[in-house]
Structure formats: C-alpha cells, structure tokens
Amino acid sequence: MKKSIYITLACIFFSAASFSQQLNIGTYNLRNDNKEDSLNGNGWGLRFPVICKIVQFNDLDIFGTQEGKYNMLNNMADSLPGYKWIGIGRDDGKKKGEFSAIFYKATKFKILKQGNFWLSTITDRPNKGWDAVLPRICTWAQFEDIKTGFKFYFFNLHMDHVGVVARKESASLVLRKIKEMAGNSATIFTGDFNVDQHNESYAEVISTGVLRDCYTLAPIKLATNGSFNAFNLNAKSDSRIDHIFVTKQFNVKRYAILTNSFNGRVPSDHYPVVAIMTY
C-alpha cells in the first residue's frame, strides 16, 4: 500500500514538472552593419560580442532578431555555440538585405515546419507592401521541445518605419497567417513593430484577444526605459516599439527591457526585450 502511494506521488510530481517548463524568449533589433555607424564608434565588430554575451547570460531559448544581415547572423552563430538560426534576406529571398531571423537552441528544439512571407498583398516574393518604403518580411517556424514534445509556433518580423497603412495591414496579415497556420496552437509573436503601445497597429494585434502582450501579463517587470535608444545611452522614454506577444498557453512570469551598456555605449540602437514564461 505504502509503495503504491509513493508511486502515485512520484507520477504526480513528474507529471506536474513536465507541464511547467520554462522558456526564455527575446526579441532584438541588432542594427544593421553599416559604415556610418562604424565611423561613429558603433561598428558591428565592437557590438556583436556584447550582444552575444547578453544572449548567453540571459540564457535565451529562442529569440527573434531584426536588421541582421547574412554576415551578422553568421558572426553571432559563431559566437553562440549550440544555437542555430533560420530566415532569408528580404531583398531577394536568399541572402541579400536584412533578415527577420529566429535563433534557437538546437539541442532543445527541433523544427517541424518553417517558412517566410512578405508583408504585402503579394506574400510569396520580394516586394514592398502598401505605403511601405522598404520590403518587409516575416519568418516563422513550428518548434517542438525535444524533451517534452510541446509544440508551438514562433513568428518574427520587422514592420516598416514609415508606412502607416503598411504597419496596420501587416498586423492584420500576420493575424490571418497565424489563424491559418497555427489555428489554436500555442504561438509566440515577436518583432520590431516601429510603433509603441499607444498605436493603432499595436491595438490591431491585441484586438482579437488571441495574442497578449507579455508586458501586460508579467507580474514582475524591469522596464525602466523604452526599447529604442538611437545609440544614446541617456535617451529616456516609455515607448515600447519592440514587442513579444503570446497566446493563452503561456504563463508569463517576468518581462524586461535590458539596458546593458559597455564602455559608455549601447550594443544596438534598440534594447533587447526578454520575457520568461512557462507552459
């Protein structure tokens, strides 16, 4: 009888543990590698080692990136053992232009499906949508936790910085894509939305109630600044233009905008946003 009780308790313990797994999720606009930044002391070669240390210290499981070019993503992959990334260049669907790449721990997750679509009325090839001034792309994947078998979708994008119509239509497009591809499955949606929490495009994302902002959900927050800094360590705002949204399957525990600096500089013109959650 006593042995039976122990076995039952052990089953309950392990069952509960298997349904309370933690995920450390992030989104990070890396700032593209360009000559002007280098001349101003903000070159990619100086910045990316710090960015990688931030990723490692915070033990991110999966994180979306924006503005990364092919060379930049490979630099990061070389400095982040155990991580892989997916994505394509927005300019040619291969290696040209900026990516909306997703990094993930290859030993923890396997990819079941993956793909990309452009933020436009024409989604299957490079083009500019609506009033956007640049082509914009969304990269997505369905991941499976190798240990637990938990499956979830991850969408990551970078919305246009000028096109008002493009941003609102892009939000509507991704919501439709999530409904079509993920259905009621667990989903995480990250990116640089180029609008803050007071904008109509942000309101569009949360309008259906399917996706919720991790900032709103987290009982513990560390967000003493906005997420855009323009390479100015002293810039202050409450404007969050980089977001992490999740569906109801995730229980968000903590949220932070990480304002790390080095040698009086910041590693990007955006701060990374991180959310710790369980499922």
Q: Which amino acid is at 190?
A: T
| pLDDT for the residue 236 | 97
Q: Which positions ≥6 away from 167 have C-beta within 8 Å?
A: 159, 160, 193, 194, 195, 199, 201
**Six token digits for residue 170:** 């892009």
CA dist 190 and 171 (Å) reads 12
| pLDDT for the residue 20 | 82
CA dist 60 and 112 (Å) reads 20
SS3 string of the chain? CHHHHHHHHHHHHHHHHHCCCEEEEEEEECCCCCHHHHHCCCCHHHHHHHHHHHHHHCCCCEEEEECECHHHHHHHHHHCCCEEEECCCCCCCCCCCCECCEEEECCCEEEEEEEEEECCCCCCCCCCCCCCCCCCEEEEEEEEECCCCCEEEEEEEECCCCCHHHHHHHHHHHHHHHHHHCCCCCEEEEEECCCCCCCHHHHHHHCCCCCEEHHHHCCEEECCCCCECCCCCCCCCCCCCEEEEECCCCEEEEEEECCCCECCECCCCECCEEEEEEC
What CA dihedral angle connects 276, 62, 152 and 124, to 10 degrees? 140
| pLDDT for the residue 91 | 98
Assess contact for 119 and 157: CB atoms under 8 A: yes
Residues of the chain with pLDDT under 70: 1-19
* Among 7, 89, 79, residue whose Cα is nearest residue 45: 79
* β partners of residue 139: 116, 156
Q: Which amino acid is at 146?
A: I
| pLDDT for the residue 3 | 53
| pLDDT for the residue 68 | 98
Parse the chain into domains and list their residue ranges. 24-278
Give 213-228 pLDDT, tens digit per residue.
999 999 999 999 999 9
| pLDDT for the residue 13 | 47
| pLDDT for the residue 4 | 53
CA dist 224 and 159 (Å) reads 24
For 24-278, the fitting CATH number among 3.60.10.10, 3.40.630.70, 3.10.310.30, 1.10.260.40 is 3.60.10.10
CA dist 194 and 198 (Å) reads 12
| pLDDT for the residue 9 | 46
